[in-house]
């Protein structure tokens, strides 16, 4: 973990880290990021939050306007409908505030375990492990876990990973996965943790 902390300093921080001002901006930027590249997520989040950065102001925007602001994120039409519904439920159920409880977050439309854990860890600094495709892939590639799905990886990490690393684990592995430990043909020759890696499933490498 100390090696990873040093290595990721050379790369840009993941998109969600740009929007840690409030739990609401963390939540909505994470929704926008799903199946979307970081550069697109950042641009869309900037446009959207320039117009509305609270649940109250977001509800004042027509869905069609949200669509235009967040295009071309993946599934932008679905997300443009989901975001106001999240805002409505925040007012109906949580006094207009984003909840800090994982199960409450999971009850919101469009919020899965990765998003809920990101909000819990980044916005509230509470223990959680956010597992996306990079965390799932690298954890298995290292041989640290042996799992089939991201949810399985989260549960395996909760059992095995020391709690002091839970909050930072996602940021470290996302940055590493985006820049070096690629899905296909990773840069093993440049990897500073290669001696700890079993290279599970790696068929070609650089």
Cα separation, 69 vs 138, in Å, equals: 33
CB atoms within 10 A of CB 137: 20
CB atoms within 10 A of CB 132: 20
Instruction: List the one residue out of 175, 181, 176, 171 whose CA is nearest residue 205.
Output: 181
Using CB atoms within 10 A of its CB, is residue 153 exposed (0-12), middle (13-18) or buried (19+)?
Answer: buried
Which of 132, 146, 160, 203 is catalytic? The answer is: 132
Cα separation, 170 vs 18, in Å, equals: 15
Which of 46, 114, 127, 148 is catalytic? The answer is: 114
92 an active-site residue? no
132 an active-site residue? yes
The 3-state DSSP class for residue 38 equals: helix
Q: Which residues are part of the catalytic machinery?
A: 114, 132
């Amino acid at each position: 973990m100390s090696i990873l902390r040093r290595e990721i300093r050379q790369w840009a921080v993941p998109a969600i880290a740009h929007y840690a001002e409030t739990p609401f901006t963390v939540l909505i930027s994470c929704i926008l990021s799903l199946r979307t590249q970081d550069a697109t997520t950042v641009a869309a989040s900037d446009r959207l939050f320039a117009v509305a950065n609270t649940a109250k102001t977001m509800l004042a925007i027509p869905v069609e306007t949200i669509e235009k602001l967040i295009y071309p994120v993946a599934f932008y039409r679905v997300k443009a409908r989901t975001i106001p519904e999240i805002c409505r439920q925040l007012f109906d159920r949580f006094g207009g505030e984003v909840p800090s409880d994982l199960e409450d977050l999971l009850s919101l439309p469009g919020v899965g375990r990765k998003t809920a854990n990101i909000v819990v860890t980044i916005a509230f600094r509470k223990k959680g492990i956010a597992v996306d495709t990079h965390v799932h892939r690298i954890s298995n590639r290292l041989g640290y876990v042996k799992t089939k799905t991201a949810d399985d990886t989260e549960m395996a990490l909760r059992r095995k990973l020391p709690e002091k690393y839970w909050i930072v684990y996602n940021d470290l592995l996302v940055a590493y996965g985006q820049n070096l430990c690629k899905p296909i043909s990773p840069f093993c020759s440049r990897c500073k943790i290669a001696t700890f890696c079993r290279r599970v499933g790696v068929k070609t490498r650089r």
